[in-house]
């Protein structure tokens, strides 16, 4: 284990944040999962216990390993408590630049001077956040994929401000979490996987909006002909239609390109509160 990183803080206890915290705890790190919402923390703990119990039942993890991981994992509402001895911070809050910048400034004031501050964002590059801190050389993107407990890839993105040491530490940390990291030497919105995925989703939405094929048929084309494990609309429901909506809004605001705006069908789903699995309805309906 990297002796320089012993304690990790994950900020935001949604699906991504909670699972990043669990992966960190399973790797043997002391982890603080922080959220201002006590109820959200409770839901995160319950969800993680469910995931771990399934892995125990399937023989993928031992009860002892899970107990050790939960003993490493602290659920807290106090940002100060979560940060005062941390070595590495991963931000996993809403995809809104102004909110992230405010948080990065707070983290910078509360975390030890040596601590690295990473964002899990796949859209907001860290150069838009680094100058909110007094440690831009210690800021980077560390992008996990949903569901974190399953997906192996992690994208480490080195901004022009990010030091080689920070990039190497983030890359090494991902490996210690039993992930497969890739290093992007330059910033680009969407990084590698999501830029490719974005083109696929754009085409799927085009086919749907032009009434060429149904949601189910488009997903079947991807799973049965392209051998994808999940179709683009089922994937949108899994990752969250709201997340995709916010990402496209950011891209549009950055580029001014009308084609980057959230498409009509996504906007309708977003405004109706149909975010996918998390709300019970998206392109598909899900029972509780």
Pairing relation of β-strands 88-91 and 116-119?
A: parallel
| Residue pLDDT, tens place only, 40-87 | 999 999 999 999 999 999 999 999 999 999 999 999 999 999 999 999
Dist. CA 248–CA 270, nearest whole Å: 12
Of 155, 234, 250, 249, whose CA–CA distance to 200 is shortest?
234
Q: Is the pLDDT of residue 210 over 80?
A: yes
Burial tier of 84 (Cβ tally within 10 Å: 0-12, 13-18, 19+): middle
Question: Quick check: 107 and 65 in contact, CB under 8 A?
Answer: no
CA distance 274 to 96: 20
pLDDT tens-digit map of 6-52: 999 999 999 999 999 999 999 999 999 999 999 999 999 999 999 99
Contact 278, 243 (CB under 8 A): no
Per-residue pLDDT of 269-283, as tens digits, reads 999 999 999 999 999
Q: Which residues are catalytic?
A: 122, 143, 155, 194
- Give me the pLDDT at residue 287, please: 84
Q: Is 160 helix (H, G, I), strand (E, B) or coil?
A: coil
249 with 267: CB under 8 angstroms? no
Mean pLDDT of 161-171: 98
CA distance from start to end of the chain: 40
Label residue 200 exposed, middle or buried (CB < 10 Å: 0-12, 13-18, 19+).
Answer: middle
**Quick one: tokens of 105?**
């400034």
How far is 109 from 103, CA to CA, in rounded Å? 10
More confident residue, 100 or 260: 100
Please answer whether residues 75 and 45 qualify as being in contact, where contact means their C-beta atoms are separated by less than 8 angstroms.
Answer: yes
What percent of the chain has pLDDT above 90? 88
Residue 198 tokens read as: 């974005």
In the three-class reduction of DSSP (H, G, I as helix; E, B as strand; rest coil), residue 234 is classed as helix
Q: Which two tokens stand for residue 253?
A: 């605001």
CA distances from 69 to 47, 64, 170, 177, 229 (A): 15, 9, 21, 12, 29
Whether 164 shows a pLDDT value over 60: the answer reads yes
Q: What is the per-residue pLDDT for 190?
A: 86
Question: How many other CB atoms sit within 10 Å of the CB of residue 224?
Answer: 10
pLDDT score of 241? 96
- Provide the pairing of β-strand 7-11 with 73-76: unpaired
pLDDT of residue 283: 98
What is the distance between the alpha carbons of residues 217 and 212, in angstroms, rounded to a whole number?
A: 10
């Amino acid at each position: 284990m990297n002796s320089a990183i012993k304690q990790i803080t994950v900020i935001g206890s949604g699906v991504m944040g909670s699972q990043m915290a669990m992966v960190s705890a399973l790797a043997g790190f002391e982890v603080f999962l922080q959220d201002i919402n006590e109820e959200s923390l409770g839901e995160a703990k319950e969800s993680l216990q469910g995931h771990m119990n399934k892995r125990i039942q399937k023989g993928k993890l031992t009860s002892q390993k899970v107990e050790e991981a939960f003993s490493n994992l602290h659920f807290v509402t106090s940002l100060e408590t979560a940060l005062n001895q941390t070595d590495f911070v991963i931000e996993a809050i809403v995809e809104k630049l102004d909110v992230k910048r405010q948080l990065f400034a707070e983290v910078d004031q509360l975390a030890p001077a040596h601590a690295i501050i990473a964002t899990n964002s796949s859209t907001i590059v860290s150069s838009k956040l680094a100058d909110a801190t007094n440690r831009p050389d210690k800021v980077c993107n560390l992008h996990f994929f949903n569901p974190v407990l399953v997906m192996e890839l992690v994208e480490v993105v080195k901004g022009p401000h990010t030091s080689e040491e920070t990039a190497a530490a983030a890359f090494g940390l991902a490996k210690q979490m039993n992930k497969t990291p890739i290093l992007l030497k330059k910033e680009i919105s969407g990084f590698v996987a999501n830029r490719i995925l974005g083109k696929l989703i754009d085409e799927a939405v085009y086919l749907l909006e032009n009434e060429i094929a149904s949601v189910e048929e488009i997903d079947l084309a991807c799973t049965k002909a392209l051998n994808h494990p999940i179709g683009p609309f089922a994937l949108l429901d899994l990752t969250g239609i709201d997340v995709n909506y916010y990402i496209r809004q950011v891209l549009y605001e950055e580029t001014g390109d009308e084609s980057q705006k959230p498409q009509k069908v996504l906007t309708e789903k977003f405004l109706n509160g149909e975010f996918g699995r998390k709300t019970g309805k998206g392109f598909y309906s899900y029972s509780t």
